[in-house]
Structure 1
Amino acid sequence: MHRRFASREALIAALAAWATRRFHDAVQAARPDTAPPAVAREHADVLAQCERLFTRLCDTGLLRPDTDLEWARRVSYALIHEAAAEAPDTDGTVDALATRVVSTLLHGIGTPATL
């Protein structure tokens, strides 16, 4: 990343611009002026379920107690989005992608740190 971005601030600015574009595109795609109110209720229900899930994950010790649950939810959405981009053709592939999402969310992609 250091070759592409001159500084940490440049990286953060690029990420912020990317996130802003993604958010704008998502809001536009949701047709906020014409979507039925039931869609908004469904979205709120999904958020509430995610909050309960991540709270349970913390309570059971699968996530650290200091986990930022909003961040965890957004990261899980990003992982799911990336898995969906794989366009699986079979149930086996779906299972493998689901396993990859959960494994990445709970364990990351690096090796355990040694002290």
Structure 2
Amino acid sequence: MKHIFAAAAVSLSLVASPALADGTFMLGGTMTFGAGQQPNFGVSARILENNRTDESTLGAGVTYYLGTGDLGVDVFAGYIFDRGVFGFGYDLVQGAPVMSLGLANTED
């Protein structure tokens, strides 16, 4: 039964895919906060699932933290404005919430 449900979900997602917005790439800055840690600034690269201005987006990416030299991998939810993205996420490696601002190729 689980295999039938999984097959149905995959086939429905393939049918719905052409109606979705194009994805885009984001390059920007990220700061960790909370989780009992000192704030840490990094440079981030993310893949976003949407590129339309004035809409929300989800994404995932990597961050190089300048202060410590560590790498982070995060999930992200943000808002797209003209040629930019702002949002919040969670760094899975650092175990800390993040706030990001970056540039992206957007469409009206």
Report the TM-score when normalising by structure 1.
0.27
Structure scoring higher RCO (CA < 8 A, sep ≥ 6) equals 2
Greater percentage in strand: 2
Report the TM-score when normalising by structure 2.
0.28
